[in-house]
Amino acid sequence: MESGNITTTVSEFTVIGFSRMGRFWPLFFAILLIFYLLTISGNLSISLLILADRPLHTPMYLFISMLSLLEILFTSVTTPLMLTCVWRGKVQVKFDHCMLQMYLLHSLGITENYLLNIMAYDRMVAICDPLRYHTIMTSRHCTVLLSSCWLLGFTSPIIHLVSVLKLPFCGPNTVNHLFCDLSPLLKLACRDISFTFILNFMISLCIISCTFLFITVTYIRIIVTILRMSCVDGRKKAFSTCASHLTMVLLFYGSLAFIYIRPKVEQTSEYDKLVAINYSVLIPFLNPIIYSFRNKEIQKTFKKLLRQKKIFVLTLMPRN
């Protein structure tokens, strides 16, 4: 592959991960593996609980189930490579596979970004216009919203991917990060990346700032509506339905702001890798905890299924 007078000669990248763990790498590997397994099982449980209980087949719980699915996919794109990297010390990733990981990472992240906006819109309609909620949030409307969310999520990063593919890579090929991401890959290009960096920076800034602004405006309207409620119990219930979502929004945007909205490309540090672990491991892990602890309906469904299982087991037990 050629770009100008420079030819791309790199066929694979070496991801080095954490270089200063020393003898503590088995402990870190075990912790990371436990978090990964708990993340998969926790988010899968949320989705299955919602699927199993018919009263939870509403737009809000449909979106929660979709968020859990996204968290499973997102952490599965990054964590297996991190585990391999910790186990071996470093790992070689083919050029095409590295580009694919970067694309999926951004696609799923942007899809989750839009999904959080849809969930904010759903709560706004439910609280600010409850009488028209079921006529607005119809099954067809929810399908259109979710389809648009996935479509925009997987088309927006194409510019990122193409801009990186056009860059020449002729060495070094060491990625000083936990996985293949945009920023560490740009530093390995064999020519000036100022234009590419500015282009990707502006796209990320536009997507993140516009969607965050939408959520901010949405919650301002929600808060104003709640404060106007005369019933104290109504206020508490309204705040309760928004608390879990608002927590996920703050965690999600807090991490992205540090990683993607930067004034310049800087040397990737160990602190950057810790932030990467935050949004690729910890946030997906916290998702089912936040929604199961804060949501009484999910707790009720879980207890009901446990009772049904207990009754089923007791009926199978032999009687004296």
Q: What pTM was estimated for this model as a whole?
A: 0.88
pLDDT at residue 265, rounded to an integer: 46
pLDDT at residue 308, rounded to an integer: 64
Q: In tens digits, what is the pLDDT along the chain, a chain of 320 residues?
A: 544 455 567 788 999 877 666 677 888 889 999 999 999 999 998 888 888 888 888 999 999 999 999 999 999 999 999 999 888 888 899 999 999 999 999 999 999 999 999 999 999 999 999 999 999 999 999 999 999 999 999 999 998 899 888 888 887 888 888 899 888 888 888 888 888 888 888 888 889 889 999 999 999 999 999 988 888 887 888 888 888 889 899 988 888 777 655 544 444 467 778 788 888 899 999 998 888 766 777 777 767 776 665 544 434 445 54
In this structure, what are the phi and psi dihedrals at residue 190, rounded to the nearest 5 degrees? -95, 20
Choose among 79, 88, 128: nearest CA to 108.
Answer: 79
For residue 61, the domain's CATH number is 1.20.1070.10
Count CB-CB contacts under 10 A for residue 179.
Answer: 24
Question: Is the CB of residue 6 less than 8 Å from the CB of residue 56?
Answer: no
Environment class of 207 (CB within 10 Å of its CB; exposed 0-12, middle 13-18, buried 19+) = buried
Environment class of 20 (CB within 10 Å of its CB; exposed 0-12, middle 13-18, buried 19+) = exposed
Q: Which residue in this structure is represented by tokens 């020393």?
A: 22
pLDDT at residue 297, rounded to an integer: 74
Task: Give residue 257's domain range.
Answer: 2-316
Pairing of strands 12-15, 6-7: unpaired
Q: Where are the beta strands (DSSP E) in 91-220?
A: 91-94, 174-175
Tokens of 68: 């859990």
pLDDT at residue 318, rounded to an integer: 54
> Sign of the CA dihedral 94, 98, 100, 104?
positive
pLDDT at residue 33, rounded to an integer: 94
The answer for residues whose C-beta is within 8 angstroms of residue 142's C-beta and 6 or more apart is 59, 62, 63
Q: State the total domains in the chain.
A: 1
